[in-house]
């Protein structure tokens, strides 16, 4: 039975590779980062070592039972890999979906436990939120989280110091599509993406897999990247 399973897995892998031809967006390369308290994303910090025309796809606020599967399908259809910054409580409530994200070849970090405005919390509350989100991640994935994105990108000295001490990378962004307005249409999100790409030229793209309009628009957004000649770089950590 083990031999049969290995054969089937190999065949599935071959079929998947065969479906990732030049008509797909694809993932051009993988950038493996050290597990350290680095800070990336030119919105607030240094740039990742990316060439012009290279982008990193990232998604926040999931996993969402309604929307994350649509995002995963769109990524799979274009053979593109992404990094998902998950909320601790969402990981705990949607364990199998969180595992599926990583099983399908994507990487995962954390995005706080409850998505609070951290600066409104006491030092103790901030540290407790981080502790809970790290525990949820380790419970599901069996390892410490390699990366953290601040909710609302609102960094605090307390958590910056704690993340550095824990060798957890802080991932900010380079460009976004402001995809949190319920009335957004696919056309609006596509236009925002085009405008952001034209201004930035490369970098970490922020999107939200918990957002319905984003999940619906993602096939179009990925096609925008392909049509404009952008290359997807996948982030992983040692």
| Angle between helical axes of 68-77 and 212-227 (0-180°, round to 10) | 20
Tell me if residue 117 falls in helix, strand or coil: coil
Check 60, 113, 184, 209 and give the catalytic one. Answer: 60
Is 111 one of the annotated active-site residues of the chain? no
Residues contacting 205, CB < 8 A, separation 6+ = 55, 56, 57, 58, 173, 174, 175, 176, 177, 193, 196
| 60 part of the active site | yes
Residue pair 140/98 in contact by the 8 Å Cβ criterion: yes
SS3 state at 12: helix
**Residue ranges with strand state E in the chain:** 29-33, 39-40, 54-60, 83-86, 107-110, 147-148, 169-171, 175-176, 203-208, 231-237
Cα(236)–Cα(230) distance, integer angstroms: 19
Question: Catalytic pick from 106, 111, 115, 208?
Answer: 208
Q: Which residues are catalytic?
A: 60, 208
């Amino acid at each position: 039975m083990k031999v049969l399973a290995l054969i089937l897995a190999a065949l599935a892998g071959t079929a998947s590779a065969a479906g990732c031809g030049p008509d797909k967006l694809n993932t051009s390369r993988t950038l493996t980062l050290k597990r350290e308290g680095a800070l990336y994303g030119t919105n607030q910090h240094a740039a990742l070592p990316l060439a012009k025309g290279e982008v990193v796809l990232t998604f926040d606020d999931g996993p969402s039972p309604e929307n994350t599967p649509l995002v995963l399908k769109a990524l799979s259809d274009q053979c593109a890999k992404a990094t998902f910054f998950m909320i601790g409580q969402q990981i705990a409530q949607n364990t199998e979906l969180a595992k599926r994200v990583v099983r399908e070849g994507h990487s995962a970090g954390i995005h706080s436990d409850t998505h609070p405005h951290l600066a409104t919390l006491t030092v103790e509350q901030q540290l407790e939120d981080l502790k809970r989100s790290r525990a949820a991640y380790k419970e599901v994935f069996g390892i410490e989280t390699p990366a953290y994105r601040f909710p609302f990108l609102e960094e605090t000295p307390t958590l910056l110091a704690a993340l550095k001490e824990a060798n957890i990378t802080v991932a900010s962004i380079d460009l976004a599509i402001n995809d949190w307005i319920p009335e957004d249409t696919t056309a609006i999100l596509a236009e925002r993406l085009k405008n952001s790409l034209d201004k930035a030229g490369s970098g970490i793209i922020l999107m939200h897999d918990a957002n319905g309009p984003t999940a619906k628009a993602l096939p179009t957004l990925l096609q925008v990247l392909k049509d404009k000649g952008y290359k997807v770089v996948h982030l992983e950590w040692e």
